[in-house]
Amino acid sequence: MKVTVKERIVLLSVVPKEGDFKTLKQIRKLREDLSFSDKENKMLKFVYSDNGNINWIEPNKDRGKFYTKEVEISDTLMAIIVDALKMSDKQKKLNHDTFELYERFVGDK
């Protein structure tokens, strides 16, 4: 699945930090896949603001393209992500960023 820089950052915050061994093993692999390499860090020029926001420069934004990365998300991981997003919705803890992920991963279900 192709994910944008923003989706990668938000997904890293959405996936659970606790679970059983099998689940955490898959989440660890996903976190590694979503993480940014040194090359990506240099290219995207991340800037962290005092209020916790992260900004970056999209390398091809001027041509209407956004930097994406292909990340393998198994059915199990997809279920974990969907469950986490649904839980955030149920607890009324969705924000603008997680709302966008919710639309992509859960939709109107």
Give the rounded percent of residues in the chain with a pLDDT score beyond 70: 94
Question: Token pair of 93, please?
Answer: 């803890």
- Quick: pLDDT tens for 23-73: 999 999 999 999 999 999 988 989 888 888 888 887 776 655 678 999 999
Give the pLDDT of residue 53. Answer: 86
> What local confidence, expressed as pLDDT, does residue 108 receive?
77
Q: In 3-state terms, what secondary structure has residue 102?
A: helix
Comparing 17 with 65, the larger pLDDT belongs to 17
Q: What residues contact residue 10 under an 8 Å CB cut-off, 6+ apart?
A: 97, 98, 100, 101
Mean pLDDT of 68-97: 94
Asked if residues 94 and 102 have their Cβ atoms less than 8 Å apart, the reply is yes
